[in-house]
Amino acid sequence: MLRLGTIVMGAADVRRAAEFWGRALGYVPRDGAVDEGWTVLIPAEGQGPALALGRSTSPVQEKPRVHLDLYVEDRAEQQAEVARLTGLGAERVAWELYPDDPDFVVLADPEGNRFCVIDAGHPRTP
């Protein structure tokens, strides 16, 4: 049986990306320090997938085929987390594909990688 072990993202500045994602997710470097070319972050408090950051010179995709969805319990927590993440260096993305009543907010990390903060309590429509 397969299981998700590590999510891998490219970064022009691995140290900057590790600082952002470590603070955003409460992750720490698996090996105790951040390497400039490749670093794996793991949850400081228990289990969960690892996040590997590798140096990359390829451009960030404006509409990536794969991205992270980060879940919160409700709209108030979503707003608080978006504010916290933008305070850490994330930026809101002008996303023309938002539905009329979105349950998500699209952000970009300091490297430009897109991710979403999802309100898991948002009512779903069939």
What's the 3-state SS for 75-121? HHHHHHHHHHHHHHCCEECCCCCCCCCCCEEEEECCCCCEEEEEECC
pLDDT tens digits, 11-41: 999 999 999 999 999 999 999 999 999 999 9
The pLDDT of residue 125 is: 55
Instruction: Specify the pTM.
Output: 0.89
Give the angle 85-87-93 at the CA atoms, nearest 5°: 60
d(CA 20, CA 35): 15
**Residue ranges of the chain whose pLDDT lies below 50:** none
Q: Give the phi and the psi of residue 64 in degrees, each rounded to 5.
A: -65, 150
The pLDDT of residue 4 is: 85
Q: What is the mean pLDDT of the chain?
A: 93
The pLDDT of residue 17 is: 97
